[in-house]
Amino acid sequence: MRRLALFVFAILAAQPALGHHSTSAIFHDDKRITVSGTLTKVDWINPHIQILLDAGSGAQSEPWRIQGNPPQWWRNLGVGRADFAKGIGQKVTVVALPAQDGSHYGYLRKITFANGDVLEDARGEGVR
């Protein structure tokens, strides 16, 4: 019975580790892309925030999905959903790690809003 209890405890303790995933499994860690477009949506959800934007204009418009760090990471820096949502409907420029499959998907490193405000999600850097 003791062994079974230890086994169950070990399985339950390992659960948080199963949810972790590396950005390098999906994104090119050594490359950067810059995408400019209209911010259309901000999903402030776990495990990662998502921002959606339409890049280009008219018939040339392409939807992009950009993933970022979790909401709590941003909150720890004093940044909330409203800091992103203020740009909805406005032109933004995003620097991101591109998806390895070449799709219109990236991992947020920096977003610059129309008014010049900048939020950064880069390793070793803070939010300006």
- Please, which residues have CB within 8 angstroms of residue 11's CB and are 6 or more apart in sequence? none
CATH of 22-120, one of 2.40.50.1010, 3.20.20.150, 3.40.50.1370, 3.30.310.40: 2.40.50.1010
Q: What is the chain's pLDDT, residue by residue, as a tens digit (128 residues)? A: 655 444 445 544 544 444 555 677 789 999 999 999 999 999 999 999 999 999 987 778 899 999 999 999 999 989 999 999 999 999 999 999 999 999 999 999 999 999 999 999 755 444 44
- Residue ranges of the domains in the chain? 22-120
Give the span between the Cα atoms of 37 and 54, in whole angstroms.
Answer: 5
HEC profile of the chain: CHHHHHHHHHHHHHHHHHCCCCHHHCECCCCCEEEEEEEEEEECCCCCCEEEEEECCHHHCEEEEEECCCHHHHHHCCCCHHHHHCCCCCEEEEEEEEECCCCCEEEEEEEECCCCCEEECCCCCCCC
Amino acid at 27: F
pTM over 0.75: yes
Looking at residue 124, its pLDDT comes to 43
